Amino acid sequence: MKKLRSGYTTGACAAAAAKAATLMLTSGSAQKEVVIPFPDGSRISFTLCACRWSDPVSTTALCAIIKDAGDDPDVTNGAKIEAEVRFATSSEIVSDQITIIGGQGIGTVTKPGLAIPVGEPAINPVPRQMIREAVHEALSVVSSMADRSLIVTISMPKGEALATKTLNHRLGIIGGLSILGTTGIVRPISAAAWTATIIASMDVARAVGVKDIVLSTGRTSEFAVQQRLLLPEEAYVMMGDYLHFALDQASKHGFTAIHLAAMWAKVLKAAMHIPQTHVRHGALEVQNAISFLATLGTAPAVLQQLTGSNTAREIYERLIALEAHDSITAVCFAARDYCQKVSGLPVTVYLVHSSRQIVESV
């Protein structure tokens, strides 16, 4: 199997663009590539896609990087990350030598619970630190500039449009995307990205007073329970396949109850105590599932009719055709018991059909 290629975070790209723009501002020369430090002590080179003056009097340098997320299906892959750098004027009140602000396409934090305070541009702490370190390196090249104060504006021209493809609005990030990253590296199909999003979503939910949390495996399941529960949008957390992790975090965050929405295959895996429900962590063995149904009291005649099923979905369709609704309900109860055991919280399980309808709740 082909090894998946890693890429770089928006935070790393922003830092590289900021260093290049600072070098241009202090030297007057456009840069073609730039090397920046990473949190782990390594140094990585970036190629610029643009490096120019953004004003007619050559007082503001603008440099840009095209983000390469590697083989990760990242919404920002191929996006342009820009940094404009200028010296602060004597009339500007700055509290730090390097002031970082958000430009076009960078969202603003509007809800509590995130790593950045309300009202600030959504540029996370590690990217901010990477930007500062990269800019300090550039300033240190010219000793006469070492103490000058700079204004660094980070932009993502298509950020607002790209944000519509994310759940940023639910986290309270409005008007664009976040500048993210904790290591500077994007790992393909990253578990760290999923788990960080789950934690951030729950942080926001707690900060706005949510008590009941809704965990869903996907948009279809989430849509179905939204129509029934009518809870605030912050209550809905997309956990994907990270079932055990999400249940554990719900407990750690102090929620009082969990609503879990999923389609049949995921509910069946939960009932069978499978903590990570993605197929890459082990396809559901149909015969194991049929044997499991036997432990729940499914009639031998029904089990015989299930033999030969190719997928979990086919098992479900055969159960429906056989009117073995008690077996479906028993699976939902078993999933609920597992989730309550992991989380220590009361759990309601909603079995959702692909038509976006809730077909069972226990």
* Opening angle at CA 196, ends 190 and 200, nearest 5: 150
Reported as a single tens digit per residue, the pLDDT across 53-101 is 999 999 999 999 999 988 777 889 999 999 999 999 888 878 889 999 9
pLDDT score of 100? 97
Q: What is the mean pLDDT of residues 276-293?
A: 70
Dump pLDDT digits (tens) for 181-197: 888 888 766 677 788 88
HSE value, Cβ hemisphere, 13 Å, CA-based, for 66? 6
Strands 236-238 and 80-87: unpaired
Cβ(323)–Cβ(305) under 8 Å? no
**Mean predicted confidence (pLDDT) in 259-280:** 84
pLDDT in tens, 303-329: 999 988 888 888 999 999 999 999 999
Give the domains, in start order, of the chain with CATH numbers: 7-186 (3.30.2110.10), 191-361 (no CATH)
pLDDT at 280: 47
Q: What are the residues facing 212 on neighbouring strands? A: 257
